[in-house]
A and B are shown apart, each in its own frame.
Chain A
Amino acid sequence: MNTRSSASIDATLRARSRRLMWRDTRHLLVAVMPGAAWILIFLVLPSLYLISVAFMTNGPYGQPSLPLSLESFRNLAGFGFLGWSPGNLYTLLRSLWQTALSLVLVVLVSYPIAYYITTCRKKWRPIMLLLVVVPSWTNQVIRAFGWMNLLAPGTPLSNAAEALGLIAPNLGLFPSNFAVTLGLVYNFLPFMVLPLYAAFEKLNHGLIEAARDLYASPVRAFFVAVLPQTLPGLLAGSVLVAIPAFGMYVIPELLGGGRAMMLGNLVATQFAAGSNWPLGAAGSMLMLLATFIGLFVLRRMGRKLGGGDEVVI
């Protein structure tokens, strides 16, 4: 009797917990649905479409058509009807190099700026942060044109560089790789300054004093007590800078003068003038892959250096 009643109680309880679970699931679904739908419609489906395009053949009018093939990937790797050429490989390497160089420069410029802002009086800090951010409210193209005017041959900056023997006569600072790097650094500065500022603002000065007290010189105290504390901000900023910089289109196009092509330009060309959608799709897949690898490496680095928990990507 006892066992039977307890079994029936068990059954009721199980049924009830199933009902509760279903209710929780329903609530969860309702909460998640809009976001999931958004991601599905605007991210997953287009990505799937792009992937499928990458495996198609280029039609006579540049439209993707059947049959399915790996032709676009062969093209991307540099195999054309004239045999192999290293052009695309160079573009990829240039993109990586340009991204890495800009990232390093952005860090070197942002670090002192972010630190300086935290040393200012509290009421000035928002204003100074605003000053850092305000330029990015202007259209990227307009800012690129601004730099073109500043760096073109015959401008004071170009003349000064010429007088110092930094560039050949009459060439100007623009168009050049230098102009592209400068443009990238200028463009992405706020994305590094803001997370770094956040990290600096909660800097525990006690740790710096502890390091100094434990025989660390000022320079070593920076590396053992300041840098590790700002690492989360540094990594977050790196992600915010490196990913868009890697796929950058406007700045290399305008400031490079067509001579400093990056992966973004390659993709854009295929969708527009080049009229080879499958090749463009393959190029954007390569970009996506490179980005994922980069993120993975950064995450690993963050974990290893102990600041990774806060860099949630």
Chain B
Amino acid sequence: MSQAPHGTPETMNSDHPRRGEAGQENASAPRQASSISIFGLKKYFDGGVVALDGLDLDIREGEFFTLLGPSGCGKTTLLRMLAGLDTPDDGQISIGGMDVTDTPPHLRSVNTVFQSYALFPHLSVRDNIAFGLKMRGVNSAERQRRVSEIAEFIKLGALIDRRVDQLSGGQRQRIALARALVCEPDVLLLDEPLSALDAGLREQLQIELQRTQKRLGMTFVFVTHDQEEAMVMSDRIAVLNDGRIQQIGTPQEVYERPANSFVARFMGHDNLFEISARDGQRLTTSLGELNSDDVNEGSLALIRPETIELSAPGTPSPHAPINLNRVEGRITERFYRGSNVEYRLDCGTTELMAEVSNSGQRLFKVGDLVKVEIYPEDIVILKDAP
């Protein structure tokens, strides 16, 4: 992933004050992106509420890393500590090998895209974008040049001469991004920057953000509570709850092999069944006796709805493996979503969700009796949340 093409446009390789020497040695070299290591980070709020409970985390150079979790899980607190806007009660943060735990925000080469965007209302769009450069003492001509470059890069077009209060949400979001990117920080922090936008625009900006990150090769740390957003954009995801990391992994790992029931539920999985007894690959669950290929320890069996196959009773399944799990169920609810169809099934002792891709086959009706087939490799065993 770190070998992604560094399509850094020439414009972005401007003679940055801090990277001047390195840049001149080899102008075509990929930008030096920073790694972040966090060690034993602790933070208590007033009244002893734990915000972060001894967090350890390593974020790689040039990575799109997402902190995912429900509100109050500590993800924003962690982001604010990376920015220097909050101080940890214990632990250490280093960025690019430098200990920055006690470094004030204006001395860190880190910039933030805030959830509320926090654009300066008394400044024009141009002055907003130039703000960081001005504070750093970059001269006026150089500021102009770099603001124009970033405006072109982010495709701001005519927005550059508007007033901030004349902009829509999506436009503000772009300005906030441009304002942070123009400073060419080692790390860009994004605090739920898309949460205030409507769905269509959000999806469009998700793709744009991801492309921007790949083109710049900059380390992005992204905070969100939306698991789909996290999966679409990220190289790796850390799922947080109660100030602790529940799992770190690629979107595929986190989605397909959640580490525990919290992660599974947060990623949107409903089909979790308690394992009451286990004999090797043979599980006794609330859904009945099941065969699983999973060798991991755990007290819960997860079956993702899209791995389940439904067919009319009596349909032969000639290539079925010998240990294929077969259950019968009656359809109690049907949710038609266009590209796929979700069914809620009553399987006697428990309920089951199944999702079938809508490829033109006959749809089942509510009340239909169906044959449910679950392949052993699709049953994942996981632990209950700590």
Per-position 1/0 for B113-155, Cβ under 8 A of A: 0101011111000000001100110000000000000000000
Contact A213 B112, beta carbon cutoff 8 Å: yes
Q: Is the CB of B183 within 8 A of A206?
A: no
Q: Given the known inter-chain contacts A206-B116, A209-B85, A220-B135, please indicate yes or no for A214 contacting B111, CB distance below 8 A.
A: yes
Which residues of the other chain, B, contact A220 by a CB distance below 8 angstroms?
135
| B104–A306 CB distance below 8 A | no
Q: Which residue of A lies closest to B130 (CB)?
A: A214
Chain B contacts for A215, CB-based, 8 A: 106-107, 132, 135-136, 183
B 146-182 binary contact with A (CB < 8 Å = 1; else 0): 0000000000000000000000000000000001100
- The answer to whether B118 and A209 touch across the interface, beta carbons within 8 angstroms, is yes
Per-position 1/0 for B79-119, Cβ under 8 A of A: 00001110000000000000000001111001110101011
Interface string of B21-61 (1 = CB under 8 A from A): 00000000000000000000000000000000000000000
Assess whether B120 is in contact with A210, with CB atoms less than 8 Å apart.
yes
Docked pose: A96 CA to B316 CA in angstroms: 101
Q: Out of A204, A207, A217, A306, name the residue touching B106 (CB < 8 Å).
A: A217
CA distance A212 to B121 in the complex (A): 16
CB A130 to nearest CB in B, in angstroms, measures 27
Give Cα A211–Cα B132 distance, bound, in whole angstroms.
Answer: 8
With A and B bound together, what is the CA distance between A213 and B112 in angstroms?
Answer: 7
**In whole angstroms, how far apart are the Cα atoms of A210 and B118 in the complex?**
6
Q: Which residue of A lies closest to B116 (CB)?
A: A206
Q: Is the CB of A216 within 8 A of B120?
A: no
Per-residue CB contact flags for chain A residues 212-254 toward chain B (1 = under 8 Å, else 0) read 1111111011001100100000000000000000000000000
Chain B CB within 8 A of A154 CB: no
A101 interface residue, CB < 8 Å from B?
A: no
Q: A207-B120, A209-B85, A228-B122 given as contacts; is B131 within 8 A of A214 (CB)?
A: yes
Which residue of B has the minimal Cβ distance to A217?
B106
CB neighbours of B132 from chain A (8 A)? 214-215
Contacting A212 at CB < 8 Å: which of B85, B120, B136, B180? Answer: B85
A305 at interface by CB-CB < 8 Å:
yes
A213 touches B111 (CB 8 A): yes
Interface size class of A (residues with CB under 8 A): 20 to 34
Question: When chains A and B are docked, how far (Å) is the Cα of A228 from the Cα of B123?
Answer: 10
CA gap between A227 and B333 in the complex, in Å: 59
Q: How far is the CA of A209 from the CA of B108 in the complex (A)?
A: 13
B118 and A216: CB pair below 8 A? no
Option from A213, A224, A228, A307 in Cβ contact (under 8 Å) with B105:
A213
> Hey, which chain A residues are within 8 Å of B114, CB to CB?
206, 209-210
Pairwise interchain contact B122-A307, C-beta atoms closer than 8 A? yes
Contact B122 A216 (CB under 8 A): no
A209 contact set on B, CB distance < 8 A: 83, 85, 105, 112, 114, 118
Residues on the B chain within 8 Å of A210, using CB: 112, 114, 118-120
Which residues of chain B are near A306, meaning CB under 8 Å?
A: 121-122
Q: Using Cβ atoms and an 8 Å threshold, which residues of chain B touch A217?
A: 106
- Residues on B with C-beta less than 8 A from A206 are 114, 116, 118
Query: Min CB distance, B135 to chain A, in Å?
Result: 4
Closest CB of chain A to B220's CB: distance in Å?
15
Contact status A305-B122, CB under 8 Å = yes
A235 to chain B minimum Cβ distance, whole angstroms, is 13
Q: Nearest residue in A to B136 (C-beta to C-beta)?
A: A215
Residue of B nearest to A204 (CB): B118
**Contacts of B183 on A, CB cut-off 8 Å?**
214-215
Q: How far is the CB of A224 from chain B (nearest CB, A)?
A: 7
Q: How far is the CB of B84 from chain A (nearest CB, A)?
A: 8
Closest chain A CB from B108 CB (angstroms): 8
**Which residues of chain A are near B107, meaning CB under 8 Å?**
215
In the complex, what's the smallest C-beta–C-beta distance from B195 to chain A, in angstroms?
15
User: For A307, what are the chain B residues with a Cβ–Cβ distance below 8 Å?
Assistant: 122
Point out the residues of chain B lying under 8 angstroms from A213, CB to CB: 83-85, 105-106, 110-112
Q: Are A225 and B135 in contact (CB under 8 A)?
A: no
Q: How far, in whole Å, are A207 and B112 apart by their CA atoms in the complex?
A: 12
A 185-216 contacts with B by CB, 8 A:
204, 206-207, 209-216
From residue 137 to 159 of chain A, which have CB atoms closer than 8 A to chain B? none
Contact in complex: A214, B85 (CB < 8 Å): no
Contact indicator A225/B120 (Cβ below 8 Å): yes
Residues of chain B with a CB closer than 8 A to A207's CB: 118, 120
> Which residue in chain B gives the minimum CB-CB distance to A208?
B118
Q: Which residues of B contact A212 (CB under 8 A)?
A: 84-85, 104-106
Instruction: Give Cα distance in the complex from A215 to B180, angstroms.
Output: 11
Report the Cα distance A212→B135, complex, angstroms: 10
Of chain A, the residue at the smallest CB distance from B107 is: A215
Residue among A207, A221, A225, A305 facing the most chain B CB atoms (10 A cut-off): A207
> What separation, in Å, do the CA atoms of A217 and B107 have in the docked complex?
8
| A305 surroundings in chain B (CB, below 8 A) | 122
Evaluate contact between B135 and A214: CB separation under 8 angstroms.
yes
Nearest CB on A from B100, distance (A): 13
**Hey, which chain B residues are within 8 Å of A224, CB to CB?**
120, 131, 135
- Min C-beta distance of A284 to chain B, whole Å: 38
Q: Which residues of A contact B83 (CB under 8 A)?
A: 209, 213
State in angstroms the CA–CA spacing of A181 and B104 once bound together: 41
Q: How far is the CA of A208 from the CA of B322 in the complex (A)?
A: 65
Cβ–Cβ < 8 Å partners of B111 in chain A: 213-214
Residues on A with beta carbons closer than 8 Å to the beta carbon of B110: 213
B176-213: CB near A (< 8 Å → 1, else 0) gives 00011001000000000000000000000000000000
Q: How far is the CA of A305 from the CA of B85 in the complex (A)?
A: 28
| A277 to B278 CA separation, bound complex (whole angstroms) | 108
Shortest Cβ distance from residue B79 to the other chain A in the assembled complex, whole angstroms? 11
The smallest beta-carbon distance between B369 and chain A, in angstroms, is: 57
Query: Can you report 9 residue pairs joining A to B where beta carbons are below 8 Å apart?
Result: A209-B112, A210-B114, A214-B106, A214-B111, A214-B183, A215-B136, A221-B106, A224-B120, A224-B131
Other 18 A-B pairs with CB < 8 A, given A210-B119, A214-B131: A207-B120, A210-B114, A210-B118, A210-B120, A212-B84, A212-B85, A213-B105, A213-B111, A214-B111, A214-B180, A214-B183, A215-B135, A217-B106, A218-B104, A221-B106, A224-B131, A224-B135, A307-B122
Top 10 A-B residue pairs of the complex, sorted by shortest distance between their CB atoms: A210-B118, A214-B132, A306-B122, A215-B135, A206-B118, A212-B105, A228-B122, A215-B106, A213-B112, A216-B135
